[in-house]
Structure 1
Amino acid sequence: MATNAEIAGRFEEFADLLEADDVEYKPRAYRRAAEHVRGHPRPIADYVDDGDREAIEDIDGVGEAIADKIVEYVETGEIEELEELRAELPIDIADITRIEGVGPKTAGKLYRELGIETLDDLEEAAEAGEVQEVKGFGPKTEQNILENLEFAREVGQRQLLGEARPLADDVLAFLESVEAVERCEVAGSIRRWQETIGDVDVLVATEDGEAVIDAFRGWDSVDDEIESGPEKASVRVGEIRVDLRVVVPEEFGSALQYFTGSKDHNVSLRNYAIDRGMKLNEYGAFDVSNVEDEVAGQRVGERVAGETEAGMYEALGLEWIPPELRTDRGEIEAAANGELPDLLTREDVRGDLHSHTEWSDGNNTIEEMVDGAAAMGYDYYAVADHAEGPGIVGGMGLSDTEILEQVEQIREVDAASDIAVFAGIEANVDAEGEIDLSDEVIDALDVIVASTHSALDQDAETATDRLVRAIENPAIDVLGHPSGRLLNERSGLDFDATALGRAAAEHDTALEVNSNPRRLDLWGSAVQAAVEAGAPIAINTDAHQPSTLEYMRWGVHTARRGWAEADDVINTWELEKIREFLH
């Protein structure tokens, strides 16, 4: 069965090839459709199987023509129009556009002028000096291609949030030390706490842009300068690109709103403004109710906001919308009605219910992990090492006898600790949705997290049934990392998040947001579907050493992307309440 990600990938390729062919407007439509298809909480292929055409067209960004292509792809595995486009432009578009400065339009031009289809073709042409002979190129561009070929081949994927955000924090700390900087903040997907990001976007308010850019270029952490100009500069730090943009202080708020995105959020917000006689852009919010239609320009009308981001929303009568919610999933309507969620914060979290020790595949003792949890300020903490089962290799899983031995040790640590220590296990959900633990073990434990580690290639219907069956098991307290995905490595299970949410709500089983930055599973839209269904959520780190207890940061922001409030998350509850919830 075609997954949402697979369908979205076809539309992203469509957009790139159309742009390479100098087609206007259509690429944007396909990209918008791809984003909504990828983030849709239900498997879209199910709608095709059910003949529910209305549900497909109800997806944001999906009109009649794109819906036709979704049905065609799910039913045949191909989209005829895309196949024809591939034949006309036989370019490895994804590979080639990983080269810095080579976008779809550039890739199209290189194909038409030099017949370049692959990275190998591009390398051969650049080494022969042929690229610089193409109009609009030159020796510098050609050298840039040669210098970035290896990088393009190796990366091939977006950066994980957990890898990029610490760098963003370092960038901000450095810029805050620059005298000419008045205000600075990250923007783009990293400010929205998206699970993967393309680059780190940073915005600075200053009256001396040249001084800021010079300081940025001279930062000790910079490995390579990509480009520089009077208002922006781009550098590479390790494998991550950092883009800096400078604006005057009175336009910082509007620029921050604009460059934070997402594109869909901004489009909807601009349309909301237009309906109210307002115009929004990176320079401010303008009252254009008395402006003639033919008057053009970015700063037309009476400027009513722009210095602060909150002011941009206030100018429209809206509450400030947290960056995590800016995905065009109802946040503007909620802000207009005063119904935005009171999102949970890192400070709300009182404990962690999924972590590992040296008893299975962790690196530290029970005592060391508990000490780490106490240092986090937690009230309670659970050890949940691996049980034996499918997907657990190398003898890392504990037998029933070993689990009972560990429970005794955990009880001793609990008695000596200042925080409550729960005896738990991470059981394995097999292909049918069952776990293999004896009644004696189940009775001895405080918490059972059940996770999938195998059979991750099941179709969406089978996977959903499997996970619902696990949720219905009264022994299971938490369904751990439900999809089993590893970002940039494997997609994991595709499932109906709404169905999981309803089952979890009915059976009082928590759905996990696994905070490991390689997982972030559940993700924003799936958390939102679960929260709307009334399901309890658990945010856990899956920590394998004390330092990775800090992963909680990524899980909290992922849950915020799903509109989660503190009461939705069981490990924000007080000790007695969480004891009552656990099995």
Structure 2
Amino acid sequence: MATNAEIAGRFEEFADLLEADDVEYKPRAYRRAAENVRSHPTPIADYVAEGDRDAIEDIDGVGDAIASKIVEYVETGSIDELEELRAELPIDIADITRVEGVGPKTAGKLYRELGIETLDDLEEAAENGEIQEVKGFGPKTEQNIRDNLEFARQVGQRYLLGEGRPLADDVLAFLESLEEVDRCEVAGSIRRWRETIGDVDVLAATDSPEAVVERFVDWDSVDGEIESGPAKASVRVGEIRIDLRVVAPEEFGSALQYFTGSKDHNVTLRNYAIDRGMKLNEYGAFDVSDLEDAEEGQRVGDRVAGETEEGMYEALGLPWIPPELREDRGEIEAAENGDLPELVTREDVRGDLHTHTEWSDGNNTVAEMIAGAEEHGYDYFGIADHAEGPGVVGDMGLSDEEILKQVEVVREAAEDSDLEVFAGIEANVDATGEIDLGDDVVDALDVVVASPHSALDQDAETATERLVRAIENPAIDVLGHPSGRLLNERSGLEFDAAELGRAAAAHSTALEVNSNPRRLDLWGSAVQAAVEEGAPIAINTDAHRPATLEYVRWGVHTARRGWADPADVINTWDLEDLRAFLH
């Protein structure tokens, strides 16, 4: 069954190919539809199965023509018009546009001028000096392409957490519905909530392994079987591979610990166990202190744990370590010393300070976004549309005059809400770390988020100085998506996260964990470095419609990967404390 992410991917390809073919207007319509389809809370394939065409067309940005393409794709697995475009422009558009600086228009021009269709073609042309000979290009552009090819190849094999985790949730719901399954859970990087994944790993405990494997392979959502055996199977749902492993119930905990990883965490934990006369593996925790050779056999020694994951750590005298922390960044030592943090949870988050409306590039009115926040049970909510500046798409940024007008609209809408509504702006951090807002505008606003949107190819030293300068600006409350990265699309700025953390702590500026699954910026290790320096963190969604306020899920788990507790996160604070911070 086609997932929302898969359908959205087809429309993004539509948009890219049309743009590569120099078609105007249509690409933007397809991208808007793709974004709304991707974030839609209900599987759109269900609407197709039910024949509910009205529900499909009710999705913002999906009219009759796009709805027809959705139905065609769900029912047949292809779209005739897209296949025709692919034939006209046989470009691996997704791969090529992952190279920073190569957008769809550039890809189209390189195809027409040099016949470039693949990353290999692009690399060969760059190495041969052919690209700089094309009108509008030059040696610097060609070198930039060479520098970014490796990144493009690496990310092409991984999927966003926001694409993989909903599918994992569907797999778990299916397995939980089987009477033969005693327990089940995801494992691997998806359980550690890494920002990208290679595949979806699932573990199930059962006394009937072959029956569970058979039911799994026959699941309605499966698009193809890759392989299967008595105790494991691999299938494809859409473009994503799902690997199921079934184990005996008494070994579920040990298998879950082992297959969750990370590899580095497991190696350190096994060495910790060896020093204490213990042996850990996927079958359990074994006391081997009385054995001369503890390396022979997997189930040797006195088995003391394995049914639960908590028991595996308890056997070593350690508390259970949350999966997000298992990256070998000091978590085992912290567990031993009783210093593991009480990690932030979704329930701790009381509001969102970075969201958009139709005033810039959002899809909904101020009132509609506030209503969405009310449905989330928030205490407070911030509107922060784009200000004018470098890197803002098209002419969607607001002038100072328009910002002041919007402040009035926000204040008026807030009168009809029980929420505390903050009038804010997302300013643009220019290449030197400055923002362009008048003093009267800053005085009128409740919150200023400032984010880099351009000059994202600076070296690490320059980028760090730029971002620290922004942090030191007393007008700025939150440094938004500090690297400007887009996962699987562009790498963004590199910087010293600890130095940003020190500056943020000194100047009471929050560093954002942008929860959009295409950003997750800051990321886990950067959050950890910043928190260790005392930096305040803000978990914001950057939502462009009410449905994407749900992105907070990804931001919370990213902050957890950075060892953040509720006290570190300003939008878990009560309203009085938050007001004091913002002023």
Q: Same fold (TM over 0.5)?
A: yes
Match of 1:518, SS state, is coil
- Output the amino acid matched with 1:417: S
How many residues are treated as equivalent by the alignment? 437
Q: Displacement, 1:295?
A: 6.4
Q: Displacement, 1:298?
A: 0.1
Partners of 1:436 and 1:339 in 2: CA distance: 43
Match of 1:456, SS state, is coil
- Output the amino acid matched with 1:415: E
Q: Displacement, 1:156?
A: 2.5
2:155/2:488 contact within 8 Å kept: no
Match of 1:241, SS state, is strand
Partners of 1:295 and 1:485 in 2: CA distance: 45
Correspondence 1:200 to 2:200: yes
Correspondence 1:156 to 2:156: yes
Partners of 2:393 and 2:547 in 1: CA distance: 24
Partner residue of 1:261?
261
- Structure 2 vs 1, CA of residues 223 and 468 (structure 1 numbering), >3 Å: closer, same or farther? same
Partner residue of 1:218?
218
- Output the amino acid matched with 2:265: H
Partner residue of 2:233?
233
- Output the amino acid matched with 1:237: V
Match of 1:576, SS state, is helix
User: CA-to-partner distance for each residue in 1:138-184, whole Å, 9 max, x for gaps?
Assistant: xxxxxxxxxxxxxx999823000001000000000000001100000
Partner residue of 1:359?
359
5 Å matches for 1:305-324?
A: 305-324=305-324
Partner residue of 1:510?
510
User: CA-to-partner distance for each residue in 1:25-79, whole Å, 9 max, x for gaps?
Assistant: xxxxxxxxxxxxxxxxxxxxxxxxxxxxxxxxxxxxxxxxxxxxxxxxxxxxxxx
2:344/2:564 contact within 8 Å kept: yes
Partners of 1:534 and 1:313 in 2: CA distance: 29
1:414/1:420 contact within 8 Å kept: yes
Partner residue of 1:287?
287
- Structure 2 vs 1, CA of residues 153 and 313 (structure 1 numbering), >3 Å: closer, same or farther? closer
1:206/1:246 contact within 8 Å kept: yes
Moved over 3 A (4+): 118-121, 152-155
- Structure 2 vs 1, CA of residues 424 and 153 (structure 1 numbering), >3 Å: closer, same or farther? closer
Partners of 1:153 and 1:338 in 2: CA distance: 41
Q: Displacement, 1:394?
A: 1.3
User: CA-to-partner distance for each residue in 1:517-562, whole Å, 9 max, x for gaps?
Assistant: 0000000000000100000000000000000000000000000000
Q: Displacement, 1:293?
A: 1.5
1:157/1:488 contact within 8 Å kept: no
Partners of 1:157 and 1:422 in 2: CA distance: 40
- Structure 2 vs 1, CA of residues 335 and 215 (structure 1 numbering), >3 Å: closer, same or farther? same
Partners of 2:392 and 2:314 in 1: CA distance: 52
2:294/2:300 contact within 8 Å kept: no
Match of 1:328, SS state, is coil
Partners of 1:416 and 1:256 in 2: CA distance: 49
Partners of 1:285 and 1:223 in 2: CA distance: 38
Partners of 2:237 and 2:119 in 1: CA distance: 23
5 Å matches for 1:13-28?
A: none
- Structure 2 vs 1, CA of residues 191 and 577 (structure 1 numbering), >3 Å: closer, same or farther? same
Partner residue of 2:447?
447
Q: Displacement, 1:393?
A: 2.9
Partner residue of 1:186?
186
- Output the amino acid matched with 2:455: A
Match of 1:416, SS state, is coil
Partners of 2:444 and 2:534 in 1: CA distance: 29
Partners of 1:204 and 1:278 in 2: CA distance: 26
2:288/2:294 contact within 8 Å kept: no
Match of 2:307, SS state, is coil
Partners of 1:120 and 1:235 in 2: CA distance: 29
1:457/1:493 contact within 8 Å kept: yes
User: CA-to-partner distance for each residue in 1:427-446, whole Å, 9 max, x for gaps?
Assistant: 00000000000000000000
Partner residue of 1:495?
495
Partner residue of 2:165?
165
Match of 1:334, SS state, is helix
User: CA-to-partner distance for each residue in 1:402-438, whole Å, 9 max, x for gaps?
Assistant: 0000000000011110111100000000000000000
- Output the amino acid matched with 1:412: E
5+ long unaligned stretches in structure 1: 1-94, 96-117, 122-151
Partner residue of 2:34?
none
Partner residue of 1:567?
567
Partner residue of 1:369?
369
- Structure 2 vs 1, CA of residues 460 and 324 (structure 1 numbering), >3 Å: closer, same or farther? same
Partners of 2:515 and 2:353 in 1: CA distance: 12
- Structure 2 vs 1, CA of residues 452 and 153 (structure 1 numbering), >3 Å: closer, same or farther? closer
5 Å matches for 1:62-141?
A: none
5 Å matches for 1:384-463?
A: 384-463=384-463
Partner residue of 1:75?
none
User: CA-to-partner distance for each residue in 1:2-25, whole Å, 9 max, x for gaps?
Assistant: xxxxxxxxxxxxxxxxxxxxxxxx
Match of 1:503, SS state, is helix
- Structure 2 vs 1, CA of residues 557 and 120 (structure 1 numbering), >3 Å: closer, same or farther? closer
Partners of 2:295 and 2:364 in 1: CA distance: 67
- Output the amino acid matched with 2:399: S
- Structure 2 vs 1, CA of residues 294 and 200 (structure 1 numbering), >3 Å: closer, same or farther? closer
Partners of 1:443 and 1:182 in 2: CA distance: 59
Task: Kindly report the root-mean-square deviation, in angstroms, between the aligned alpha carbons of the 2 structures.
Answer: 1.7
TM-score of the pair, normalised by structure 1: 0.74
- Output the amino acid matched with 1:341: P
User: CA-to-partner distance for each residue in 1:292-318, whole Å, 9 max, x for gaps?
Assistant: 227610000000000000000000000
Q: Displacement, 1:119?
A: 11
5+ long unaligned stretches in structure 2: 1-94, 96-117, 122-151
